[in-house]
Each structure stands twice: as C-alpha cells, then as structure tokens.
Structure 1
Amino acid sequence: MSKNLQDITLALAGVVQATILVSQVAKTGFAQQDAYKCSIESLFDLNPASTLAVYGGNAQNLRLGLEALRDMLAGNHKHQEAMRYALGALHLQKKLAGRRDMMNTIGSRVSQAASQAEHFSSTHDNVVGNLGQIYSETISTFRFRIQVMGDYNYLQQPRIASQIRALLLAAIRSAMLWRQLGGTRWQLLLQRKAIASQVDKLLSGLPY
C-alpha cells in the first residue's frame, strides 16, 4: 500500500467516523446507517488492495468521518467526546501492537464473524454481538479503557453495548491501518494543515 498523506487521512477519517458513531449510539440509540455499515465492514477486509478498499472503495462511505475530522482540525469543539474516543483508540492500538497473541486471536475471531456476516448481514445483531464480545474479551482486558458517555437507558441495553464495542473495535482497526500507512501523533500536530487540505480535497470530490 502506498504511504501517502491521502491514505493516512482516509484511515484517520475511519477512526473518527467509528467514534462519532459511538457517540451517536450512546446518546440516541441510533446510528447513521450507511456510515455504520461502512465502519463495521471495515473490520472484515484484513488484506485490502488499497486503503479505500477497507471502506467499500468509495470515499462517500467516509463522509461522516471526513466532515467530523474537518471540524476537529479546525478547532471546532462540538465533537469533543468523539475526539477523546479517537485518541483512546489510537492509544489502545499501540498497546495492542505489542500483543501479537491478542492480535492473532482478534484476527481469527473477526474472520469467523466475517463468515457469519455472509449468512446474515454485516450489521445483523448476531454479527455485531459477536464483534462486541471479541472486544470485551480482548481489548477490554487492558488497564486503559475508553469510558463512553451517553444516555444510561441506552447504555444498559445489551444490543447498544454490543454496537458500541463493535464500533470501538472498528476504530482500533482503522487506527492500526493509520499507523501502518505512516500515521503518527506528531503528524497530527506538525502536519495539521496538510491533513486538513487532504480532507477538503476528498470532500470536494464527493456528490451532494
């Protein structure tokens, strides 16, 4: 895969989109369906032909993440919780990178979930429940955990809890891709304008 700033930006938008959806689900019990489908399905292509292929081959699928990333880079504070979740996902991915055994377990179990998705659908409750369980039994064992804020009535529902965990797993998957492509925390500070320019370029090419 080519290591260029556009690919890095796409992967970062993938992280942000998943965490925006976490915030949506936690607060309202609902998620923007096209974006949700894209984030869940991003887990299933572990050997993609390109960065964009992870997200269904179309940047339109990442519109929610790109728009939120644009706001974040501009210093807009309306996505503060999602930004905190995104930074948490980057941190957890780094922890995960040091645990080859856990990465192998996740890879194997996500492959099983991908087979399950072929029989049901990628966003079927059984599939998402399986993905949520993978997160609970692996990532959730780290001392650092992402604390999700939202409506207590939604957070207590097993279906919503599974969706949130599956989306956090998707955020970490995109964080892994971002890191593989050459993304770094320093880059977010030192190349902020260049990344913002890539976001604008990607959004300008999308249909309305």
Structure 2
Amino acid sequence: MARNYFDITLALAGICQSARLVQLLTHQRQCDEQPLRASLQSLLDLNPPSVCAVYGDNPTHLRIGLEALQAVLNASSRERISAELTRYTLGLMVLERKLNGNYGAQEALSRRINALHRQLGHFDLLSDTLISAMASIYVDIISPLGPRIQVTGASAILQNTQIQAKVRAVLLAGIRSAALWQQVGGGRLQLMFDSNRLFKEAKQILTYS
C-alpha cells in the first residue's frame, strides 16, 4: 500500500514541534502561544477524522515543527541546535515504542487524558492547572518507561518549576505525535532512507499553507 507522506510528514512535524518547543522553553524561557496550544491540544483528540484534524485542521499550526523537521533531516547541518533537536525527537520515538509495548501504561494514560477533558470545562488549556496535570501524566506514566530524555538548557531556567511543567507537558504531546506517526505508517528507517522525500514534503507543506 502506498504511504501517505503528507500524513507521515505532519505527524513527524508534530514530534519535532515538541522538540523545538522544549528547546525554546529551556534556552529562552518562553515560546509562542499558538504552537504551544496546538501541540497540547493534540493530546485531547484520540479519535480524529484525519491527521490534520489533530493539529486543528491547519498545517500552519505546525510551522515551527515543519521547520524543525527540515533541520533534523538536513544532513549538512552541524549546528548544536539541530543535534539537540534530533536527540529530543529520537528520544520521543523511543519512549513511544516503550509505551506501545506496555498495555497497563496505555490504559493509565487513557484514563488520565479523559480526566483532562473534564478539567477543560473549568480551566484554559494553557492554564497552570492544566499544564501541571499534563506534566504529572508524563512524570507518572511516561518517565518510568525509560530511557529518560535528558533536557539541556540554561540552569536558571531549568530550575523554574513552571518551565519544568511546560517541558513535561510538551514532551507528552510529542509522545502523542509519535504514536500518530506510527499509526499512519511512519518508521525510523524513513529518517535515513526517505529523508529527501520527507524534506521535500515538509517544504511543500510550508509553501502552500
């Protein structure tokens, strides 16, 4: 069956967007609200009609993810930012595979995500309450699966509890995109053998969105 590279690229960009948001938060203490909201919102729709629907039916919501994906796929890039992006992206893929093999963790994750839906009736998605709840899900369910993703950045920023919560919430969103990527036919070998195809697809999506 032919692969749908549009869907594969979007889901992969979702992973990369989480990786890039982690970078921005840990190095600059902040990130734009729109991509953060788009990534965290993706956690809440577990039965979407399409991959694009997971990200608000608008590929522009994944702009920084598509740009980050191009940086990861660009073999000529040797900048530290690209190496860090790649490490976070691959780390999320590994954790998603661990989650996929652990039925108990999947059940617990589903219950906790459903609880988020109830909280959304009282709090905004980007409120400290919701972000803390997402961070707790990551700590309780994802982190024990190992290996843990070693987050780097400015030490003063890394010690900030609000930044820690946002980073964990964003990493949880990255796990969601990694699961979606697998569901639509994604695989790590594509990063080596189909990198040119993925790069061109990301560029085309950016151009026409």
TM range (shorter): over 0.9
Answer whether contact 2:38 2:55 (CA < 8 A) is retained: yes
State the partner residue of 2:32: 32
Once the two structures are aligned, what percentage of the paired residues are identical? 38
CA distance, structure 2, for counterparts of residue 163 and residue 118 of structure 1: 20
* Residue-by-residue CA offset, 1:97-127 (whole Å, 9 max, x unaligned): 0101101111110121122123211111100
CA distance, structure 1, for counterparts of residue 27 and residue 108 of structure 2: 31
Matched, 1:148 2:163: no
| Residues 3 and 123 of structure 1, relative CA distance in 2, 3 Å threshold | farther
Q: Which runs of 5+ in 2 are unaligned?
A: none
CA distance, structure 2, for counterparts of residue 111 and residue 57 of structure 1: 22
CA distance, structure 1, for counterparts of residue 85 and residue 96 of structure 2: 16
State the partner residue of 1:52: 52
Answer whether contact 2:72 2:85 (CA < 8 A) is retained: no
The one-letter code matched in structure 2 to 1:53 is: A
Matched, 1:199 2:195: no
| Displacement of 1:32 | 1.7
Stretches of 4+ aligned residues off by more than 4 angstroms: none
Match of 1:160 among 151, 160, 163: 163
Aligned pairs, how many? 205
- Once superposed, what is the RMSD of the aligned Cα atoms? 1.3
Q: Which runs of 5+ in 1 are unaligned?
A: none
CA distance, structure 2, for counterparts of residue 130 and residue 98 of structure 1: 24
* Residue-by-residue CA offset, 1:33-63 (whole Å, 9 max, x unaligned): 1111111101010100100000011001000
The one-letter code matched in structure 1 to 2:90 is: L
TM-score (norm 2): 0.94
Answer whether contact 2:68 2:85 (CA < 8 A) is retained: no
Moved more, 154-163 or 12-21: 154-163
The one-letter code matched in structure 1 to 2:183 is: Q
Matched, 1:10 2:10: yes
The one-letter code matched in structure 2 to 1:11 is: A
| Displacement of 1:3 | 5.2
